[in-house]
Amino acid sequence: METKSDIIRVLIAKVGLDGHDRGVKIVARTLRDAGMDVIYTGLHRTPEEVVDAAVQVNSFNSVTSGLGWLHVIGEGKAVLFGSYLFGDERDTDGRADGAKRFDGVRLGGQVMLKESLDLFAAATHLRAHYGRENATFLATRGDQQSDTVLGVNWRFARDWTLRPQLLESRNNSNITIYGFKRTELSVTVRRDFR
């Protein structure tokens, strides 16, 4: 039997002046449909209001915040974007490396090659520092993760998009067992319902 403490609780907030919230409402509804307890604070929140909401709920183990920028170029045929994110994961289960603090940047863009084809690329770099010496490895863990993605969006029919993309991820850690290099090729087919 599932108890209230077994249910995952998610706080979603929209910080700043941007008045577009369709995407965040879709995410909230999807998480609710998956059985999660979702709290959406609404539009135009200050960082202080988001922190206050999280403190009132007092059951979050991970906090992530960020700032983003988007610039449209060439009459809407290209965009450049960047973001900075930061946060922490609390050590609630006594994990070997303790709590984690992280921050990172993401830069990218998308350009329309022709009416039905867009090229996109993005790069992310994330740093993570852990709060406890790992007793097995006698070191305090520090990670540097980088991700690079390149792909296309091909709108091959009305309301249909094919999206092949190549993603390369690399995590360099001072504890070797946590390091990895991974390359993924994925293809997504999307149908927009209007």
Mean pLDDT by 10 residues, the chain (194 residues): 61 72 79 82 78 62 82 90 89 80 94 95 95 91 96 94 95 94 94 85
Query: Residue 194: its pLDDT value, please?
Result: 76
Provide the pLDDT for residue 149: 95
pLDDT of 155 reads 95
**What are the respective helix, strand and coil percentages of the chain, to the nearest 5?**
15, 60, 25
Looking at residue 66, its amino acid is G
Backbone angles phi, psi at 177, to 5 degrees: -65, -25
Q: Which helix (H) or strand (E) holds 37?
A: strand 37-40
pLDDT of residue 106: 94
- What pLDDT was estimated at residue 5? 53
pLDDT of 165 reads 95
pLDDT of res. 29: 83
DSSP assignment string, 126-138: EEEEEEEEETTTT
Beta 62-73 vs 78-89: how paired, if at all? antiparallel
